[in-house]
Amino acid sequence: MVKKEKIENKIITKDENSETKKNVFSKDGELVVDIYETSSEFVILSAIAGVVIEDIDISVDKELLIVRGERKNPSKEPGKKYYFQECWWGPFSKKIVLPNKVKVEDASAEIDKGILTIRIPKIEEVKSKDKIDIKVA
């Protein structure tokens, strides 16, 4: 059975005086992301395995999308000495500058098989006519 979890109420719009702004440049581990666009939306993908939804926060402060969370080390063995360590355990964050033509209020996020997917719809642009029709009176 594939476990797919929808992240409810995780994308929060905050204003410039928010708490998010104060801690934007803290020293956490950094997520790696892929960002692409389709004709209707921007999509952000990140491998985020080992993190529970309760430990993820996605917020927007002006044009900056911030993904924060914590990956807790599953090994509880006391006195362990690492032979080799590449996995990041602890707090992480990623700051992404958004294009100005997106509808943040309609954004969505979900986790499927350890992949976080954030979808942000584009604002539809009104197409202008190239030619003005002249009617005969």
Residue 18: pLDDT band by 50, 70, 90 thresholds?
Answer: very low
Q: Which ranges of the chain would DSSP assign to H, the alpha helix?
A: 19-22
What single DSSP character describes residue 53? G
In a domain, 128, yes or no: no
Q: What is the pLDDT of residue 134?
A: 78
Is 51 within a domain? yes
CA pair distance 127, 4, nearest whole angstrom: 37
Size of the chain, expressed as the number of residues it contains: 137
For residue 68, being part of any structural domain is answered with: yes
Could you give the CA distance from residue 58 to residue 22 in angstroms, rounded to a whole number?
A: 15
**Domain-located, residue 55:** yes
Q: Is residue 67 part of a domain?
A: yes
* Top-confidence residue, 22 or 70: 70
Residue 20, pLDDT score: 42
Q: Are 92 and 72 contacting, i.e. CB atoms less than 8 angstroms apart? A: no
Q: What is the pLDDT of residues 36-62, one digit of tens each?
A: 999 999 999 999 888 888 889 999 877
The answer to whether residue 135 sits within a structural domain is no
The CATH number for 116's domain is 2.60.40.790
Residue 92's domain spans which residues? 4-121
CA–CA distance from 6 to each of 29, 31, 105, 109, 118 (Å)? 24, 20, 16, 7, 11
Residue with tokens 């362990």: 80
Q: pTM for the complete prediction?
A: 0.70
